[in-house]
Structure 1
């Protein structure tokens, strides 16, 4: 039995994963360029040793535009739960409530990353409890006056169950070549009786693969051939049609793209944001 919400479709919104892949002034100019295009949220990945930490970067981003900012996503085993919650709460306070905490159990290869950083290994079956600890600590820090929205990246049934209980937004971790029918079934199996927002991470637009959103060996042709939802066409009209289809047929209302294609899709975002 599925429990997918049958409530009225949510309004569409769009986020941009904007890692610092160049010098800081260029990155800041990129953020300014997003301000008036209809995008709702600037997102920062959590990849130690690749770029500045997400917390300080997002604090700076929030001073450059009036857009929302968020982590996409914190890896729970990389830092103590309370420290993550404190950073998230602090960002909510400093941005006037514009911060969204994305969190998950970590990217593939997390064990190697922890080893390189000299951090203790966290067994896979314990990582989800760290996510719960972060969220519960954040709720305590927020108290009754604040509520930091939480986006969870989920894979298996236990992660989905936790997200169904605690998250405000859910994005599904799935193979990039997973076919549309399989993803649709994945979403329909999710117990969404609370009607949480469903987000779709789209790393491939046309022939462009977004940095930090997919691996360097990602094959756009293979993803397109699989009819995967990890792909959108670069043509604005075709992309708009497909986005509306994915909301109507599956329920996705929050679409996350890479910064490299933000300008290409700006006409789509301007047309659809808030609809």
Structure 2
């Protein structure tokens, strides 16, 4: 038992957000290398028009390597519940249970940037709820597609406690360790959930699709922000262990550009 959070201590697992930012053969090689380095899950962001559609990319990745795949994360502002749930269920079936559905409200204004009608926060949460409900209907009693929900305020946190299997917190970059710890500890409910940590930066590098490219990594370190990890694998492993012990995070998601850098830490901690 974790004395700080009152949660059961879960084994570590590690995911990698790997968008297609190169030629296809290079991306395929990257997928295979990630799978061979101890990472449990390959994730793809929901960024229409910037890369191939999320569903085909994940199906391709699952065929290339024996690892889990997932959305990080479906943006409810861009997606209708029934079709999103059908895609998620289909990926679960085609990967023989190796798919996990990450879903969140979506970045503010993303739908307007793409020429779509504005979607209110309340409607985004409604879509998230309806997507999970439709997914459970598609899955039926023989299949349970895990749902990781990205949350920020109390309303989305309450929804995650009701319908999700795991949660990742959308943390302001300027939150320090104490503020992040408070946010997570205030996430109270009647059941234990896996807590995921979205790591946007490693050392001085910022992961594409996980944070703005102009993110000030020096300021993050000065503020003791938890959206950054050290680039030294030994120091990163110590910090990851500290975050589980003090806060309860056990699932860490990083950018593909840092997968090789942190591979020794992953090899040491995965499954422990």
TM-score, normalised with respect to structure 2: 0.96
For residues 48-67 of structure 1, the aligned pairs below 5 Å read 48-67=48-67
CA separation in 1, counterparts of 2:245 and 2:113?
Answer: 44
CA contact 1:5–1:195 (8 Å) conserved in 2: no
1:245 to 242, 246, 254: 242
CA contact 2:176–2:226 (8 Å) conserved in 1: yes
- The residue that corresponds to 2:21 in the other structure is 21
- The residue that corresponds to 1:174 in the other structure is 171
Deviations 1:78-123 (A, max 9, x none): 121100000000000000000000000001332xxx2343322212
Deviations 1:215-258 (A, max 9, x none): 02101101111100001101111110000000000000000000
For residues 106-255 of structure 1, the aligned pairs below 5 Å read 106-110=106-110, 114-255=111-252
Aligned residues between the structures: 269
Structure 1, unpaired ranges of 5+ = none
Pairwise CA RMSD? 1.1
CA positional deviation for 1:17: 0.3
Query: Structure 1 residue runs of 4+, over 6 Å off?
Result: none
CA contact 2:7–2:248 (8 Å) conserved in 1: no
- 1:253 aligns to what SS in structure 2? strand
Is residue 40 of structure 1 aligned with residue 40 of structure 2? yes
CA contact 2:202–2:231 (8 Å) conserved in 1: yes
CA separation in 2, counterparts of 1:180 and 1:130?
Answer: 32
CA separation in 2, counterparts of 1:259 and 1:34?
Answer: 8
CA positional deviation for 1:139: 0.4
- 2:15 aligns to what SS in structure 1? strand
- 2:260 aligns to what SS in structure 1? coil
Structure 2, unpaired ranges of 5+ = none
Is residue 82 of structure 1 aligned with residue 79 of structure 2? no
Call closer, same or farther: CA 1:7–1:190 in 2, change over 3 Å. Answer: closer
CA contact 1:5–1:194 (8 Å) conserved in 2: no
TM-score, normalised with respect to structure 1: 0.95
CA positional deviation for 1:126: 1.6
Is residue 256 of structure 1 aligned with residue 253 of structure 2? yes
CA contact 1:19–1:45 (8 Å) conserved in 2: yes
CA separation in 2, counterparts of 1:192 and 1:266?
Answer: 34
- 1:131 aligns to what SS in structure 2? helix
- 1:151 aligns to what SS in structure 2? strand
- The residue that corresponds to 2:269 in the other structure is 272
CA positional deviation for 1:183: 0.4
Call closer, same or farther: CA 1:164–1:5 in 2, change over 3 Å. Answer: farther
